[in-house]
Amino acid sequence: MPEQRKLETILIKNNLISEEQLKQIVSYADAVGIDLHEAVLQKKIAPPEAVMMAYAESVGLPFIHLADVSVDEGVALQIDPMTARQYSLIPISIDHRHVLLAITKPIIPDVMEELRMTFDLPVRCAICTPAELNAAIAKHYPRGTIRIPKAGQAPLPEPVPKAKRKPEPVKPMNNEDMKDRLLKSFVVFNFSFAFVCFALYYLQIPRGLYNTMYHIPVLMLFGAIAGGLAAFVTWKKLNQ
């Protein structure tokens, strides 16, 4: 790609990256599927500002510092906050009958055309660092932000509430289903009853009853309670 080749040359020329580092970064970018400047930023080989200035030069766009620019709130809110987040962009101002847009990479023509139609003005772009752009988007498009329509534009429709999902009707059980659930619940009851009784007997719990005539009934009571709970849970699960 011509832009990538140009960026490689600029990075080397400006001593932002060495030839060896460039080979590694190009391989990393190809493997991960990202642009070269994004790979350089991720690896933190050079200062983000210098990398983005080199990238702006490679794609033929100006570079701006958003920290030095006052974003026009009225202009920014003319676009859908979702568009700003999805495409990483923010309109800054309207100057000389153009809309100035801050971006981190060139945006696709369809989005440019959509923005041009939204503002009814030509759109100019400038590159900034991802950190500055993310901070500006978070500041000017907080959660719950509503787009302000231009004069003459119809207001955005209110979101339609989602219809509540109706609960599915419970299917009636036939005799086979009833027998199957009863059998499984009975098996679970017996297993739980026996397990709890043997466990309590082995652990001598409750202590103090094993020298009396009441220890067997107490063990059976605990076993019956545990078995009943286990059978009830099994029945409910099978009934879902």
- Domain ranges within the chain, ordered by starting residue: 2-59, 66-140, 175-239
Please say whether the structural domain 66-140 has been given the CATH code 3.30.300.160.
Answer: yes
From CA 44, how far away is CA 47, in angstroms rounded?
A: 7
Between 44-53, 202-211, 217-226, 231-240, the lowest mean confidence (pLDDT) is in 202-211
- Is pTM beyond 0.75? Reply is no
95 within 8 A of 159, measured Cβ to Cβ = no
**81-113 pLDDT, tens per residue?**
898 999 999 999 998 789 999 999 999 999 999
Q: Does pLDDT of 59 surpass 80?
A: yes
Here the tokens at position 167 are 């609960």
Phi, psi of 180 (to 5 degrees): -65, -45
DSSP state of 67: G
Query: Which of 60-74, 81-95, 115-129, 139-153 is predicted with the least confidence, judged by mean pLDDT?
Result: 139-153
